[in-house]
Structure 1
Amino acid sequence: MDLSHKESFQICLAGLDRIDDVLKQWQQLTSYLPIHHAKPFGLPVPEYLEKQLLHTLEQCIERDDAMIFIAEGDKLFGTIAAILNQQTAYTQPNSSVLFNLWVEPDQRRKGIGQALVAEAKSWLKAQGVTSVQAGWHPGNPEADRFWLKQGFSPYETIGAAFM
């Protein structure tokens, strides 16, 4: 499925043939996370983290209620995952979550992240979703600006304490 947005890149659905490329991007994303949070679980253990990321990636590709969108040009530029998240105890149960948004540093500020979010939101809307959540670290002002521009607003703070 070709979901072209601009001449310099196109948005596509990730399939099993792109697992290695997407996994590399997700690993890059997780390498940046300790910069922005207090590491409540300690430092990542690379061999276990890779297995966990690969499992999540495979599940998102294989399930009907999840999608991974990729932006590519002459290489893979970015990725975002979307999953349906039913909240049956609420009046608007058709919710969803966006996660693992990553755009290669040399490709940022070219509309790729916006295009990935827009495509994911479009797919979610077609699934009947009425709300979407995304998380970002409050100590990252670039992420704040980006997600606010995408129409998101913070509503919860999650804290951690070491015991």
Structure 2
Amino acid sequence: MTIRVATPHDLNEVYRLWCLLMDQHQAYHPVFGYHPEAEFKLKRMLRERLTEPYTRIFVADAGPDGLVGLLLATYQVGTSAMHFFRRGYIAETIVEMPYRRRGLGRALFGAAKAWLLAEGADHLELQVALQNPAALHFWQAQGFGITTHHLVRPLFHGPPDQREY
């Protein structure tokens, strides 16, 4: 198993894992819903993320089995008027079910943390769905603590399939 930075060549596998993550999270909240028929636009978004200078998508590469995990990390610099202003943000993170509990999540996080430290991050942040206690436990085991609650209020009340994508 190799942990590495994804390349544009990995786009289809990154898209597959991203969709798997969103499919799992849709049960937690509709904000995770997406239009499967918008594959082109979703892949374009992921392709852009793959080439952003302050974004890295780390993947767990199982060789012939393909990519089995991913973690998206970004580095953001805010105002130096704040004590902590060089933020490392951990976003989409998933390890496929058959590969869980083998240390891949820790390895993906370790690679992301090393990159973010090298970029100059002075703290790390992430969000975890409240309905995902396994993820909450995992991130707490990596040293994260709950500091705020992220609240969401959708403003559109009709069926999502009526909106333009």
C-alpha distance in structure 1 between counterparts of 2:40 and 2:144, whole Å: 31
C-alpha distance in structure 2 between counterparts of 1:159 and 1:67, whole Å: 26
1:65 to 39, 54, 74: 54
C-alpha distance in structure 2 between counterparts of 1:61 and 1:42, whole Å: 20
Task: Kindly tell me the number of residue pairs found equivalent between the two proteins.
Answer: 152
Runs of at least 5 residues in structure 2 that lack an aligned partner in the other structure: 156-165
User: Counterparts in 2 of 1:2-151, with a 5 A limit?
Assistant: 9-37=1-29, 39=30, 41=31, 43-48=33-38, 50-74=39-63, 75-88=66-79, 89-151=81-143
- Cα deviation for residue 45 of structure 1 reads 2.2
TM-score, with length taken from structure 2: 0.84
- Residue type of the alignment partner of 1:47: E
Residue deviations 1:114-147 (CA, integer Å, cap 9, x gap) = 1000110000000010111111101111011101
What fraction of aligned residue pairs are identical, expressed as a percent? 27
- Residue type of the alignment partner of 1:60: R
Cα RMSD over matched residues? 1.8
1:155 paired residue number: 147
C-alpha distance in structure 2 between counterparts of 1:99 and 1:161, whole Å: 20
- Residue type of the alignment partner of 1:93: F
C-alpha distance in structure 1 between counterparts of 2:56 and 2:154, whole Å: 35
CA 1:69/1:155 → structure 2, altered by over 3 Å: closer, same or farther? same
- Residue type of the alignment partner of 2:77: Q
CA contact (8 A) 1:60 1:83 kept: no
Runs of at least 5 residues in structure 1 that lack an aligned partner in the other structure: 1-8
- Residue type of the alignment partner of 2:45: T
- Cα deviation for residue 44 of structure 1 reads 2.8
- Residue type of the alignment partner of 2:34: P
- Cα deviation for residue 85 of structure 1 reads 1.7
- Cα deviation for residue 58 of structure 1 reads 1.5
- Cα deviation for residue 59 of structure 1 reads 2.1
Question: Structure 1 runs of 4+ off > 4 angstroms?
Answer: none
1:5 paired residue number: none
CA 1:53/1:151 → structure 2, altered by over 3 Å: closer, same or farther? farther
